[in-house]
Chain A
Amino acid sequence: MTLTQRYRFIYKPLVFTACLLPLAWLACGAFGWLGVSLGADPVKELEHEAGKTALNLLLLTLAVTPVRELTGLSQLVRLRRMLGLFAFFYVVLHFAIYLVLDLELNFATLGGDIAKRPYITIGFTALLLLIPLAITSTNGMMRRLGRRWQQLHRLVYLIAILGVWHFYWQVKRDIREPLIYVGILALLLGYRVVRAWRRRRAAAALQRGAAAPTAAITSRSGSATAPERT
């Protein structure tokens, strides 16, 4: 079996199934199947669990690149789109539960919440920003957008920050759990900052190396190749 076949017939179906497990659990809780109970306030539980699953998947999506680079398992990128789309799915589910089961389709309250409550404003913003990413997730769109695809999909960093902030902000007093999310997000984004900084330094060194012979000759003429770090 080739690697591509293994991804298509084993790994992807496995990840797909795993991503559906939280949905299955929520459905069992909602309908009382298999003895799953969501406690005295099932609406809040459904709302919170869908939201947390979305955040978990968003962070998993962001973990793909660091894990690939640190382990050399570069094929993992094949799973990233599925994780990202499932994150979007659970964000939409989270919003639907909030609108239908929590607000009971009271659109006036929805408007007031989005306008007046900062944590809902930023959560809703994150949801809106995910829409173009989901729409442009196809191979066709990737080809069509070319370089701009990557630029567009860097929005996911902002979305993740908004999502974690949204969680942090709605907690009443006990911030321990949202702080774990803040920590993981900081690691994932910090990894990229360090990597970008290293790359820039390496590029500068390379440039310096390449420019050195001429720099020796033209060193009097300017500071264009002046070393920033030695």
Chain B
Amino acid sequence: MRFRVPRIAPSEITPQEVYLSRRALLAGALATGASAVLPAAEPSPQGAPLNFTVNSQYSVKETPNKFEEITTYNNFYEFGTDKDSPSHEAHTLRTRPWSVNVYGEAEVHGTFDLEDLLKGQALEERIYRFRCVEAWSMVVPWVGIPLSNLLQRFKPTSRAKYVEFTTLYDPRQMPGQRVPVLTWPYVEGLRIDEAMHPLTLMVVGLYGRVLPNQDGAPLRLIVPWKYGFKGIKSIVKIGFTAVQPRTAWNVAAPDEYGFYANVNPQVDHPRWSQASERRIGAPFLAARRPTLPFNGYADQVASLYQGMDLRRYF
């Protein structure tokens, strides 16, 4: 007995013609109207192939989940709270042009075009385990750059103890933001040593192609030893701060979602166990597996938390 998810081509999930035609309309409107102030909309690069090298040193040997699974089962509340809402709704997000504002305790500040930020950065594919705080998991072939490579360009000062990330806030593009399920915009953060860790990835692609909108295009964070909600999507701001950022889920329910959110089978969520997880796409009756400390990345990252009470700093 095994469920079959019908194969869906990526183009079927979010028909390209639909947003291309919207883009044409928009471009027309811009040309007649506010073209002087607003940059012209560009065609969506979603699904375009990327140039990258495979980083097998940092990749797990497990079989990755199907593209369909990774792109139709998403927690991206900016596009609705059902798992399949983002795959239906995220076509409204315009990912080009895209700029990122850098602020705080660093020598280099300012607003940068995403293309400029990525220029000269070598993209890598890394197959990481992905563990959601809801006790399901996947294996995902991300394409991105180590976050440290990006952050070093801004020359953080010694006062930079944390890095704060912010998602785009625009309810017209992100209709889920009209519903106050979380405090918008979504904010996430890492301690600077976590942010600089070689496993921490700034992701721009999936399965060798430009990241689909529902997975957090055009720029998202992946911290494989932490619960998925730390992996903030559609990032428009990166700040270097001296104080711990007030992160979205931690603000919403501090007793349920900690700032650290390291995957830890010994510290349960107050409402469910974190001792095991179900692998999405695995066969019936063979999907549940034990959750590993730090999601299996303990050898690489446990030292970051030496001497810390991980029950307290969950």
Contact = CB atoms under 8 A, between A and B. Distances in A.
Nearest to B253: A173
Contacts of A170: 271
A101 B83 CA distance: 19
B72 interface: yes
B138 to A, nearest CB: 9
A35 to B, nearest CB: 7
Contacts of A101: 284-285
* Contact residues of A: prevailing secondary structure: helix
Given A41-B83, A112-B273, A102 B278 contact: yes
B94 to A, nearest CB: 25
Give the interface size bracket for A toward B: 20 to 34
B296 interface: no
Contacts of A109: 273, 275-276
B273 A39 contact: no
A176 B1 CA distance: 34
Nearest to A100: B285
Interface string B126-152: 000000001010000000000000000
Nearest to B176: A174
A24 B212 CA distance: 34
B117 interface: no
A169 B271 CA distance: 8
Interface residues of B, number: 34
Contact of A104 (B3, B272, B288): B288
A166 to B, nearest CB: 11
A101 B271 CA distance: 19
A39 B271 contact: no
B157 interface: no
A217 interface: no
Contact of A32 (B4, B253, B276, B285): B4
Nearest to A119: B271
B310 interface: no
Interface string B260-281: 0000000010011101101011
Nearest to B75: A172
B5 A39 contact: yes
B271 A40 contact: no
A173 B280 contact: no
B83 A39 contact: yes
Nearest to B8: A37
A95 B284 CA distance: 16
B179 interface: yes
Interface string A105-129: 1100100110011110000000000
B84 interface: yes
A41 B181 contact: no
Contact of B69 (A30, A40, A169): A40
Contacts of A112: 273
B10 to A, nearest CB: 15
A41 B81 contact: no
A38 interface: yes
Given A102-B278, A109-B273, A173-B181, A41 B6 contact: no
Interface string B277-305: 01011001111100000000000000000
Given A116-B268, A173-B181, 20 more contacts: A30-B1, A32-B4, A39-B72, A39-B83, A40-B68, A40-B281, A41-B136, A41-B280, A43-B287, A101-B285, A103-B288, A104-B286, A109-B273, A109-B275, A117-B271, A117-B272, A173-B77, A173-B253, A174-B77, A174-B81
9 contacts: A29-B3, A41-B278, A41-B280, A42-B5, A44-B136, A101-B284, A106-B276, A109-B273, A173-B81
Can you list the 4 inter-chain pairs with the closest CB atoms, starting with the nearest?
Answer: A40-B73, A174-B81, A32-B4, A42-B3
